[in-house]
Amino acid sequence: YDSDLERSEYLKAYVNTYLREEIKEEQLVRRIEPFLRFLEVAAQSNGQLINHSKIARDAGASDAKAVERYFEILVDTLIGFHLEPYHASIRKRQTAKAKFYFFDPGVKRALEGQLSIPIQPRTPPFGHAFEHFLMLEIHRYRDYFRREEKFSYLRTKDDVEVDLIIERPRQKKIVIEIKSSDRVDEVEILRLKALKKDLAPCDFWVASREKHPRMIEGFEILPWQQVLRNLHG
């Protein structure tokens, strides 16, 4: 597509034709109106912890179980995927809240009705969009190369969080924190020292928009392109 307008119109058409009409025609849901409202609310919650009850209230769905079913539909139709919480215990991993990512940032913004609003660097929307973009790229590389890797995120009780943990058979974990800045704040990174120790042995990378790699007390600050090369080069 040659222009932003054409790309925007295509995304709107995709959302209206496929996500709404196809799901309606396939009769995947009994009532289409709550599902359509759910799509907008889910897009606004992209990359955040899923609160089924809150989403149900905001979307006017019958209950949390209906929202769980809606997310299952999105996963089954390849519209997005869950990122589960990390825990050494599989039982505990299954009881904590997951996150959900749409398969395309443009579709996510179309569902929100935000396509006409530019995303400016150094703003929260830019940070969210950058994280979304890079998370999708890492997933696509894994699927393309058919790697046996498990993805998860970690958040502590003190709300200290790392965006992605990659577990590989018989290898060290890779822990990735995503920062959209072109100069990573060292203070923010050093807050993760306890997590780095708890997750050892691991390689801890900070994917950013910095131009050149550097080290901060064992944390590798890397251009995001190099992170992809390191993972699947």
DSSP state of 149: -
Alpha helices (runs of H) in the chain, residue ranges in sequence order? 4-14, 23-25, 32-44, 52-59, 64-76, 90-95, 105-112, 124-145, 186-190, 193-199, 224-232
83 residue type, one letter: L
Q: What are 21-48's pLDDT values in tens digits?
A: 777 666 667 777 888 899 999 999 999 9
Can you list the pairs that 223-228 forms with residues at least 24 positions away whose Cβ atoms lie under 8 Å?
224/134, 224/178, 227/134, 227/138, 227/176, 228/137, 228/138, 228/141
Across all residues in the chain, what is the average pLDDT? 89
pLDDT tens, 204-221? 999 999 999 999 988 999
- What is the pTM (predicted TM-score) of this model? 0.90
